[in-house]
Amino acid sequence: MSYRKLFGVRPGTRVRLSEIESGFTARHENRRSARAEMRRDDKRLCDLQYLLYANHQRSVLVVLQGMDASGKDGTVRHVFDGLNPQGARAYSFKEPSREELDHDFLWRIHLKAPAKGEFVIFNRSQYEDVLVVRVHQLVPKSVWSKRYELINEFERNLSLAGTTILKFFLHISEKEQLRRFKKRLDDPTRQWKISEADYIERAFFKDYTKAYEEVLEKTSTSYAPWYVIPAKHKWFRNLAVSKIVIETLESLGMKLPPPSVDLDEIRRKYHSAEKAEKS
């Protein structure tokens, strides 16, 4: 079963999030049935990142978007925690600073894009500029409506430069969001994550849903596809994201680069001398 085909948004297709089951778990009944597979996937993802870093020819950009409490932080922590930090980094986009607002909306995004050999995760992204600004009318429609094509061109440019782009919308229901907020209130280790703004934003859940549907319809492309991930069950969210990343990286056919030196010469020059000293 291809998770890319199962959850991918085909370019130009209609998306209605209310018709997508956020609690879907494919062939797995529970976390226990998927545990062994998830352990194998963790190792495979690390191996593929090693190849990416060693080749130093391509880069990977993973974009995570979703409603508040949909699990963006958790996905970074559980799916990508085994990556070698020497070639991986995560970046969380907050409200733009004064300096960032003095530039075009993609300026701050491009600064954080991955270099060759890098694996980068965006927790929120350029899409905030067609989501938050739309829902809260921070800029007129005549401005934000033009940004879909600008984002598509930006991502196409990254793709042509060798960046593989994977975009994940972590899908939860309005009811599940409220349940997670309540769990945070009751958990002393997570109370710091709660703010009144979280509850205020819930009034705009349907507006955000409509905005996300348009994002998915207008910006899922062959070079930067969107995937709608059922995220009610956190373990399945993690499994599905890792599967799609692995499938995509395997399709690149990466191999270890050849040695940059004459290995026989190195052996003769250094290890033969070592052997002579011991004798």
* 164 strand-pairing partners: 60
Say how many C-beta atoms besides its own lie within 10 A of residue 75's C-beta. Answer: 26
Mean pLDDT across the stretch 212-224?
98
Long-range contacts at 3-6 (CB < 8 A, ≥ 24 apart)? 3/240, 3/243, 3/244, 3/247, 4/225, 4/227, 4/244, 4/247, 4/248
Residue 273 pLDDT more than 80?
A: no
Measured distance CA(159)–CA(141) in Å, rounded: 28
User: Residue 209 domain-assigned?
Assistant: yes
The number of folded domains in the chain is 1
With a pLDDT cut of 90, the percent of the chain lying above it is 89
Looking at residues 145-164, what average pLDDT do you find?
98
The pair of three-digit structure tokens given for residue 134, joined into one six-digit string: 């739309």
Instruction: Tell me what pLDDT residue 275 has.
Output: 59
SS3 readout for 174-223: HHHHHHHHHHHHHCCCCHHHCCHHHHHHHHHHHHHHHHHHHHHHHHCCCC
The Cα–Cα gap between 109 and 129 comes to: 11
Exposure string of 229-262, with b = 16+ CB inside 10 Å and e = fewer, is bbbbbebbbbbbbbbbbbebbeeeebeeeeeeee
Q: In what order do the strands lie in the sheet with 59-66?
A: 88-92, 119-123, 59-66, 163-171, 226-230
Is residue 68 assigned to a domain?
Answer: yes
Residue-wise pLDDT for 224-251, tens only, equals 999 999 999 999 999 999 999 999 999 9
Range(s) of the domain holding residue 215:
3-176+204-278
Whether 186 is covered by a domain: the verdict is no
64: confidence class by pLDDT, cuts 50, 70, 90: very high
Residue 197 falls within a domain, yes or no? Answer: no
* CA neighbor of 93 nearest in space, from 121, 71, 69, 122: 122
pLDDT tens, residue by residue, 101-148: 999 999 999 999 999 999 999 999 999 999 999 999 999 999 999 999
Cα 207 to Cα 25: distance, rounded to the nearest angstrom: 27
In a domain, 185, yes or no: no
Q: Return the CATH number at 68.
A: 3.40.50.300
Domain annotation covers residue 38 = yes
Whole-model pTM? 0.94
Q: What is the pLDDT of residues 35-63, one digit of tens each?
A: 999 999 999 999 999 999 999 999 999 99
d(CA 18, CA 144): 24
Judge whether 190 lies within some domain. Answer: no
266 domain residue, yes or no: yes
Going by pLDDT thresholds of 50, 70 and 90, the confidence category of residue 1 is: confident
